[in-house]
Amino acid sequence: MIEPDFVRNFAIIAHVDHGKSTLSDRFLEITKTIAKDKLGEQFLDMNAISKKRGITIKLAPVRMVYHASDGKEYILNLIDTPGHVDFSYEVSRTLAACEGAVLLVDATQGIQAQTVAHFFEARKQNLVMIPVINKIDLPNAQTELVVKELISVFGFKEEEIIFISAKTGENVQVLLERIVTKLPPPVNEIEKPLRALVFDAVYDEYRGVVTYIRMFGGSIKVGDQIKLFQGGTTTTVTEVGTFSPFLQPAKGLVAGEIGYVITGIKDIRQGRVGDTIINSNFKLQLSFGQKNEYAQDEKGNNVFPLQGYVTPKPMVFFGMYPKDASDFVHLRESLGKLMLNDTSLTYTEEYSAYLGSGFRVGFLGLLHAEIVKERLAQEFGLELLLTMPNVLYEKFSDGTMKEPYMLLTVYIPNEYVGNVMTVCQKRKGSLVDMQYHDTYATLSYELPYSMFIRGLSAELKTVSSGYASIDYELTEYKQADLVNVDVKINDNTIDVLSELAYRDEGLYVARQKAEKLKESLPRQQFRQIIQAVVNGNIVAREEIPPYRKDVLAKMSGGDRTRKDKLLEAQKKGKKRMVSSAKIHLPQEALFSMMENK
294 and 224 fall within a common domain: yes
Same domain, 28 and 141: yes
The strand pairing partners of 277, in sequence order, are: 196, 228
Q: Please name the residues in contact with 35: beta carbons below 8 A apart, sequence gap of 6 or more.
A: none
Residue 95 maps to which CATH number? 3.40.50.300
215-264 per-position pLDDT tens digit: 999 999 999 999 999 888 899 999 999 998 889 999 999 999 999 999 98
Bigger pLDDT: 383 vs 83? 383
Closest CA to 367 of 457, 461, 238, 501: 457
CATH number of the domain within which 404 lies? 3.30.70.240
- pLDDT of 596: 44
Average pLDDT over residues 274-290: 79
Beta bridge partners of 543: 529
Shared domain check, 292 and 366:
no
Residue 49 has pLDDT above 60, yes or no: no
Proportion of the chain above pLDDT 90, given as a percent: 49
pLDDT at 597 over 50: no
Distance CA 139, CA 141 (A): 6
Q: Give the pLDDT of residue 40.
A: 59
- Asked if residue 188 is part of any domain, the answer here is no
At which of 480, 507, 537 does a domain end? 480
- The total domain count for the chain is 5
Identify whether residues 377 and 400 lie together within a single domain.
Answer: no
Structural domain including 430 reads: 395-480
Q: Is the link from the previous residue into 193 a cis peptide, with omega within 30 of 0?
A: no
Instruction: Please give the Cα distance from 68 to 55 (Å, whole number).
Output: 31
> Residue 73: its pLDDT value, please?
95
pTM: 0.78
CATH number reported for the structural domain that contains residue 270 in this entry? 2.40.30.10
**Whole-number pLDDT of residue 577:** 47
| Structural domain includes residue 43 | yes
Is residue 418 in a domain? yes
Q: Hey, what amino acid is at 267?
A: D
The per-residue pLDDT for range 493-552, each reduced to its tens digit, is: 888 888 899 999 999 999 998 998 888 888 877 788 999 999 999 999 999 888 665 555
Question: For 60-80, what is each residue's pLDDT tens digit?
Answer: 789 999 999 999 999 999 987
Q: Which of 300, 291, 289, 260 is nearest to 277 (CA)?
A: 260
pLDDT above 60 for 274: yes
- Whether 161 is in a domain gets the answer yes
pLDDT higher than threshold 70 for residue 182 = yes
115 in a structural domain: yes
- When the pLDDT of each residue in the chain is averaged and rounded to a whole number, the result is 85
Asked if 260 contacts 277 with a C-beta cutoff of 8 angstroms, the reply is no
- Note the pLDDT tens digit of each residue in 438-466: 788 999 999 999 998 888 988 998 999 88
**pLDDT above 60 for 595:** no
Domain identity same for 545 and 563: yes
What per-residue confidence (pLDDT) applies to 142?
A: 94
Distance CA 359, CA 328 (A): 9
CATH number at residue 348: 3.30.70.870
Tell me, yes or no, whether 190 lies in a domain. no
CA distances from 130 to 10, 11, 73, 172, 274 (A): 10, 11, 21, 13, 25
Residue 308 in domain: no
Band (pLDDT 50/70/90 cuts) for residue 477 is very high
DSSP secondary structure, 569-584, as one string:
HHHHHHHHHHHHSPP-
Same domain? 145 vs 28:
yes
Residue 461: phi and psi, rounded to 5, are -65, -40
Residue 537: the pLDDT is: 94
Q: Is the pLDDT of residue 41 over 60?
A: no
DSSP per position, 43-68: TT---HHHHHHTS-S----EEEEEE-
Distance between CA atoms of residues 474 and 87, nearest Å: 12
Note whether 322 and 333 are same-domain residues.
yes
Q: Which is higher by pLDDT, 91 or 395? A: 395
43 and 62 belong to one structural domain: yes
Is residue 374 one of the residues assigned to a domain? yes
Q: Is the pLDDT of residue 97 over 90?
A: yes
At 133 the pLDDT is: 97
For residue 473, name the pLDDT band (cuts at 50, 70, 90): confident
| Low-confidence winner among 25-34, 57-66, 131-140 (lowest mean pLDDT) | 57-66
169 lies in the same domain as 214: no
Residues 171 and 162 sit within 8 Å (Cβ to Cβ): yes
**pLDDT value at position 584?**
65
Q: Give yes or no for a contact between 9 and 77, defined as CB atoms under 8 angstroms apart.
A: yes
